Amino acid sequence: MRFPKAFAFAGILIFAVSAALFAQDTGQAPDLNLMPQPSELTPGEGRLAIDDSFRVALTGYREPRLEGAAGRLIQRLRRQTGIPFNDQLETDASKATLVIACDRAGEVVQSLKEDESYTLDVAAQQARLSATTPVGALRGMETFLQLVDLDARGFGAPAVTIHDRPRFPWRGLMLDVSRHFMPVSAVERTLDGMAAVKLNVFHWHLSDDQGFRVESKRFPKLQELGSDGKYYTQAEVKEVIDYARDRGIRVVPEFDMPGHTTALLAAYPELASAPGPYSIERHWGIFNPCLDPTNDAVYTFLDGLIGEMAGLFPDEYFHIGGDEVNGKQWKNNPRIQEFMKAHDLKNTADLQTYFSKNVVPLVEKHGKKVIGWDEVLQPGLPKSAVVQSWRGPRSLAEAARQGYMAILSAGYYLDLMQSAAQHYQVDPLEGATADLTPEQKSHILGGEACMWVEFATPESVDTRIWPRDAAIAERLWSPEDVKDVDSMYRRLVVTSHWLDSVGLTHHTAHAYMLERLTGLRPTASLEMLDSVLEPVKGYAREGARDYSSLAPLNRLVDSTPPESTVARAFAKLVADPRANQDAIRKRLTAWRDNGSDAGLLSMMRGSALLEEDIPLAKDVADLSAAGLQALDYISSGKPAPDSWATEQKALIDRARKPRAELLIMIAPAIQNLVEAAGKSGP
């Protein structure tokens, strides 16, 4: 088997981190703001001061990638602290604040086997980072940057010894760049964020119905007719691959087939299973256009395309998609139906398997291994393939049982607007996979967060990926028993701000979008409203309007973060309304006054983009007023009358319904308050 050492050691490491975490929870050691949590952490004595004398030295093996990373570390630390550090590396290691010692070169093309482990030893006088490979050193540098904080003494890093390595070797983020094109700057920003939380696979979803996004020199019509001019040149692709490699990230390209190919078929309609012409799809959903598995020209074309792209992308793996083929064109084409009968293919799934069996050898011929969405898991799939489980964890277990390698994406779809906790609680080795044998479990390589961009643009995409992806990154890096949700959230809030220093725009874009919504007026009252809302969940937005790729994504739902930190904190307070009465009352009063504020409402009426949100503002005010009344009942010790409770119930039922594709996230907590008021007693 091909799984790396780090993975094999997971059993031991789990114990180590448990002890460390336990020490933190019960002892006086500070809760360090590390995310992902390292495998093993031992607090030390004292603190390394970070001041203008800070210098970095490289010892041992050196290469430009390490030097570049050390330079970026200095820049990042400058941004974190505002101190104008000396840019030059220190040649005398004894004089350096941070010594980075690397043993040897990493793989020429980073693979699943790359050693990502490191040891970071921070003492009061010096920090020492040791790693076998440059990739391990990169991981340790991020940990070092996360350790740096500000206290009454100034900037510094607490003394600590960390031995760290990943639980899973495949920790990815898939980014769809087809539905809304993401320029290189957005991709590179995303890579910076990924590296910061130790993710190591960038899965680049380059083609779909809505666009074919990479330049083909062999088939230039692909970008000419399939991209609206929005595609990556091959030079840009190489730039991105280099950028990713510099950050220890593999780039796995995906060319989705045989479905999700409308943009490709706009260029080459003769490869479709029904007569063309085709044009780039502007809407969201599952569409009919599909490659014709019975047409030899399709395989000739794919041989050429895969060959060209296999030469462009150095990674060992090549993603051929395979998802969501509805089979309609196949069913409606008598010639294809004839072919299926002649080849004993009983249904369209069989025909897709036939297609896969023809495509996989093409990929292998060009020196790559195949990865595909879980639909490719059909009898006859070569055992070298990796299955990406997206429809549920069962296919993950099934793939492993059948001897395939597999990664989990079900439960990690960032575009579905779930909470960080929901993602965090999904573990590739729990649930459906829990019963696997250890050998079978070793086939689970890790997972990938997925960011589909029907409802995200380069402007807003960071607000959808971050900070929640950091929680998924922790699930995939940290030992299995690192699963305390409260600790995760405590660290996530800090990590989210730390990610600002990485250059991510989730905070600045959110602020800018609110400014736009108000027509450049002050945003404080809109911010207060927005802070208790969340976008609707799952696929609810797709049905809410007739969306297309041309629709502006400039409404409140497009800027509101996927998860309301404020509502989560409020729910915690409401769990004990008596103890937290003052804090609850303060918040409810502010929300009530804000939502009934004439300034807010008149501003919203004056903005065509905010008018739809006025009912939400009013309901937040009414809910807050109800919550305050409930608190009065609770503190009076006398239960609220039934008539009052019934009235509030109607309000809460209304307030829990989505409006303008948004949800009021304090509604459940208010409901709890109202229910508590009904049962109130001393």
437/548 with CB nearer its own copies = 548
Contacts of residue 542, defined as CB under 8 A and 6 or more positions apart, other chains included, come to 284, 285, 454
Distance CA 98, CA 125 (A): 9
589/672 with CB nearer its own copies = 589
List residues bridging with 158 in a β-sheet.
Answer: 47
The one catalytic residue among 188, 324, 480, 527 = 324
Rounded least distance, CB 574 to its own copies, Å:
20
Separation of CA 131 from chain center = 27
Residue from 1, 342, 550, 598 in contact with its own copies (CB under 8 A): 550
Separation of CA 510 from chain center = 17
Could you say which residues in the range 459-488 bind its own copies, by CB under 8 A? 459
Rounded least distance, CB 554 to its own copies, Å:
3
The pattern of x and - marking residues 11 through 50 that bind its own copies according to CB under 8 A reads ----------------------x-----------------
Rounded least distance, CB 586 to its own copies, Å:
11
| CB-based contact 406:386 (threshold 8 Å) | yes
Rounded least distance, CB 153 to its own copies, Å:
6
List residues bridging with 236 in a β-sheet.
Answer: none
Rounded least distance, CB 660 to its own copies, Å:
15
Dihedral over Cα of 4, 5, 6, 7: its sign: positive
Could you say which residues in the range 86-115 bind its own copies, by CB under 8 A? 87
10/29 with CB nearer its own copies = 29
Rounded least distance, CB 151 to its own copies, Å:
6
542/611 with CB nearer its own copies = 611
Contacts of residue 543, defined as CB under 8 A and 6 or more positions apart, other chains included, come to none
Which H or E run includes 14? helix 10-26
Residue from 558, 563, 613, 661 in contact with its own copies (CB under 8 A): 558
Encoding tokens for residue 171? 């920790």
Rounded least distance, CB 212 to its own copies, Å:
18
Encoding tokens for residue 463? 């607000």
75/636 with CB nearer its own copies = 75
Distance CA 188, CA 197 (A): 15
Rounded least distance, CB 166 to its own copies, Å:
25
User: Is 324 one of the catalytic residues?
Assistant: yes
Q: Is 372 left (phi over 0), alpha (psi -120 to 50) or beta?
A: beta
Q: How far is CA 50 from CA 77, 143, 193, 381, in A?
A: 9, 15, 23, 54
125 makes contact with its own copies (CB under 8 A): no
378 makes contact with its own copies (CB under 8 A): no
Separation of CA 281 from chain center = 25
497 makes contact with its own copies (CB under 8 A): yes
348/457 with CB nearer its own copies = 457
Give the three-state DSSP class for 136: helix
| CB-based contact 275:269 (threshold 8 Å) | yes
Q: Is 417 left (phi over 0), alpha (psi -120 to 50) or beta?
A: left
82 makes contact with its own copies (CB under 8 A): yes
Could you say which residues in the range 147-166 bind its own copies, by CB under 8 A? 149-155
28/643 with CB nearer its own copies = 28
| CB-based contact 37:21 (threshold 8 Å) | yes
| CB-based contact 395:276 (threshold 8 Å) | no
Q: Which stretch binds its own copies (CB under 8 A): 90-98, 124-132, 416-424, 548-556?
A: 548-556
27/552 with CB nearer its own copies = 552
81 makes contact with its own copies (CB under 8 A): yes
183 makes contact with its own copies (CB under 8 A): no
Rounded least distance, CB 546 to its own copies, Å:
13
Residue from 511, 544, 579, 590 in contact with its own copies (CB under 8 A): 511
154/285 with CB nearer its own copies = 154
How does strand 386-389 pair with strand 405-408? parallel
Residue type at 33? N
If you ran DSSP here, which 8-state letter would residue 413 be given? B
The pattern of x and - marking residues 402 through 441 that bind its own copies according to CB under 8 A reads ----------------------------------------
Q: Which stretch binds its own copies (CB under 8 A): 186-194, 198-206, 211-219, 499-507?
A: 499-507
Q: Which stretch binds its own copies (CB under 8 A): 22-30, 359-367, 373-381, 503-511?
A: 503-511
Distance CA 118, CA 603 (A): 54
Encoding tokens for residue 65? 């990638």
> Which residue in the block uniquely carries the two structure tokens 């209304």?
654
Could you say which residues in the range 221-250 bind its own copies, by CB under 8 A? 229
Q: How far is CA 525 from CA 307, 522, 535, 551, 598, in A?
A: 56, 8, 19, 27, 11
| CB-based contact 357:380 (threshold 8 Å) | yes
Angle at the Cα of 248 (from 245 to 253), degrees rounded to 5?
60
Rounded least distance, CB 572 to its own copies, Å:
16
Q: How many residues are recorded in the chain?
A: 682
Q: Which stretch binds its own copies (CB under 8 A): 69-77, 267-275, 332-340, 549-557?
A: 549-557
Which H or E run includes 44? strand 40-49
Separation of CA 132 from chain center = 28
List residues bridging with 491 in a β-sheet.
Answer: none
Peptide bond into 43 cis (omega under 30): no
Q: Which stretch binds its own copies (CB under 8 A): 304-312, 420-428, 515-523, 645-653?
A: 515-523
H helical segments located in 425-460: 438-441
Residue from 16, 23, 29, 83 in contact with its own copies (CB under 8 A): 83
Rounded least distance, CB 250 to its own copies, Å:
29
75 makes contact with its own copies (CB under 8 A): no
508 makes contact with its own copies (CB under 8 A): yes
Q: Which stretch binds its own copies (CB under 8 A): 159-167, 320-328, 385-393, 501-509?
A: 501-509
328/516 with CB nearer its own copies = 516
Q: How far is CA 551 from CA 61, 414, 548, in A?
A: 52, 21, 5
Could you say which residues in the range 604-663 bind its own copies, by CB under 8 A? 605-609, 611
Rounded least distance, CB 154 to its own copies, Å:
4
Residue from 29, 89, 436, 494 in contact with its own copies (CB under 8 A): 494
Return residues touching its own copies (CB under 8 A). 33, 52, 79-84, 87, 149-155, 229, 457, 459, 494, 497-498, 500-501, 507-508, 511-513, 515-517, 519-520, 549-554, 558, 605-609, 611
Query: Hey, which residues are catalytic here?
Result: 324
